[in-house]
Structure formats: C-alpha cells, structure tokens
C-alpha cells in the first residue's frame, strides 16, 4: 500500500534535504476515504497524528506514490501549511480543497438553469474581452518587463468554488520577492490585508492597480472555469485562515472578478466578516439581472479608480 501512512511519515522525514525551507514542527490528524485525504491540526488528546511535512520536495515524493487524488485541508491549519500542501498537490496534478460547511445560499443549487446560462455567458464574454484587450495586455506586459525585472504575471493561491484552491492570475505590480514581506508590511492588521501606501508596489503597478488593469489576466481564470465575471471576492489564504468559522460557508461560492463589495464599498470596507455578510446577501438574492447591474456599475468604478490601491 502506498498511502501516506503514519509510520512512513514519521520515518521518512528524517532524510529531508537541508537546502529546502523548513517550518517548526507541528502535528496533523489524517483520514482517508475514497482516494481523499483529510487533514486537520491534531489536538493534545489525539494520538493518531503525524508530524508536519518539513519541505515541499519530500511531500511531493509522498503524494506521487499515493493513490490519493484529492487533499482536503481544514482552514484551521496555518497559512504556510495550506500553501505547502497546495503547492505539492499542484506539482503532482492533484487537487487541494478547504473543508467548508455547506451553505444553502449558493445560486447553483436554487437556480440551476439560470446558473448554467450565467456560466455560458461568462465564457463567451471572457473570450470576447480577451480578444478586445489582447493588444493592451501585450503593451502592459512589455511595460512590466522593461520597468521591473522578474515575471510578468503574478499568481497566488485563492479559494474557489466549493473550497477548491486555484491560482489567480494578475499582472505583477510589486517587485520580485514582495510576497515574503507580506506579513511584515501588514503587521497585525485585523481587517483585509490591504495597504494604501504599500512600499512593495512599483510605480507602474500603482497606476495599473488604480484602474484595475492588473486584473485583466483573470479573464483567463474565467475562461478556465475557476472564476466568474461577477461573484464574491476570491479569498487569499492569509485572509481565509482569519475568517470566523460561522462565516466559512461563504467560501463555497464561485468567486468573481467584480462583485457587490467591489462596486459598493471596496477598500472602504475592510472588515472580513462584514465583507462576507455583503457577499452572502448577494448570493441569497442572486439573479442574472443583478449580475448585469453589477457589471454596468463596475465600468465607472474602474474608470474613476474607485477605492483601488
């Protein structure tokens, strides 16, 4: 059997490569069911636990030899642990999810026909906008390459539909390595991790953010079915782990490029639970007409740079 057994985990971690980043030791409880692996932090009273994997290379090797096809992670894990498992699953073409409670607010459950119509419209408009904005995106890509060394696109793990983790795409607006300074810049900020005078942002990046041009590559996420044109905010891992358990069911929703939060309050409302309540209200009242209104409201907000930084 090639499962990630408790004994295997305990024995094989002793040979970790010294050049790989390590994290302080931790413990998990693991359960398997129908090729799914469920992880959560181990409590002091639980015996069936294994140490935290100390590096990506080791974890990738274990997952490659395992029949597990889906890894389900509790949001109670630390952000760095979620990222480690997400990166490992991505490397071996397996899927990582957050374990979330069910929610009755999902439009897909209540209005299946209109929901699939929405998804068809998403795909068609995404293709059309990629053709229209293609030349502009090439110009922006060239400008990024000229002004700042490093990759043109920035990708980051976000929480998608049903808790599925996916990489959101954006034009890079910060200098290379800026993610490693994220918590140093944000400090103990309680609300959304957004900073108006973030020193990591390049001059070109600040201008792109003002008019939301950095988000154009997310049309590719829409094309791939990972996002919608309109929907709740796709939470980053550093925000997802701070959401109150009573609000976690909101993360089941398919996220969007724009949404009710972006066109009404955006950076002026940064309380995570308050943003979730706004999104839940949108989901309860969802309709194609409402999505059309949000799309129309997005245009003047983008042109004026409303609440963007």
- 219-250 per-position pLDDT tens digit: 999 999 999 999 998 999 989 998 989 999 99
DSSP 116-166: HHHHHHHHHHHHHHHHHHHHHHHHHHHHHHHHSSS-SEEEEEEE-GGGBEE
pTM: 0.84
pLDDT of residue 15: 39
- 8-34 per-position pLDDT tens digit: 333 343 433 333 333 444 577 878 888
Cα-atom radius of gyration of the chain, to the nearest Å?
20
pLDDT of residue 301: 85
Q: Do the strands 49-51 and 27-33 form a parallel or antiparallel pair, or are they unpaired? A: antiparallel
């Amino acid at each position: 059997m090639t499962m990630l057994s408790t004994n295997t985990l305990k024995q094989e971690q002793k040979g970790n490569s010294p050049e790989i980043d390590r994290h302080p030791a931790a413990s998990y409880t693991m359960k398997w069911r129908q090729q799914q692996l469920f992880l959560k932090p181990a409590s002091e009273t639980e015996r069936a636990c294994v140490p935290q994997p100390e590096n990506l290379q080791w974890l990738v090797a274990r997952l490659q030899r395992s029949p597990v096809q889906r890894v389900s992670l509790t949001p109670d894990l630390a952000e760095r642990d979620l990222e480690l498992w997400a990166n490992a699953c991505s490397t071996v073409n397996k899927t990582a999810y957050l374990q979330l409670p069910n929610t009755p607010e999902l439009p897909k459950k209540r209005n299946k026909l209109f929901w699939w119509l929405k998804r068809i419209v998403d795909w068609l408009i995404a293709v059309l906008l990629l053709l229209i904005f293609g030349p502009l995106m090439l110009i922006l890509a060239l400008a990024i390459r000229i002004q700042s060394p490093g990759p043109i696109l920035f990708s980051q793990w976000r929480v998608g539909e049903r808790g599925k983790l996916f990489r959101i795409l954006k034009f890079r607006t910060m200098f290379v390595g800026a993610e490693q300074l994220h918590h140093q810049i944000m400090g103990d900020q309680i609300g959304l991790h957004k900073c108006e005078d973030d020193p990591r942002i390049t001059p070109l990046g600040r201008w792109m953010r003002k008019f939301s041009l950095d988000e154009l590559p997310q049309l590719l996420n829409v094309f791939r079915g990972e996002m919608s044109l309109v929907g709740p905010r796709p939470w980053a891992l550093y925000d997802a782990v701070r959401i109150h358990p009573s609000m976690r069911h909101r993360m089941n929703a398919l996220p969007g490029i724009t949404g009710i939060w972006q066109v009404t309050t955006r950076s002026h409302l940064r309380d995570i639970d308050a943003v979730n309540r706004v999104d839940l209200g949108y989901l309860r009242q969802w309709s194609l007409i409402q999505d059309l209104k949000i799309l129309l409201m997005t245009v003047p907000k983008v042109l004026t740079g409303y609440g963007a930084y």
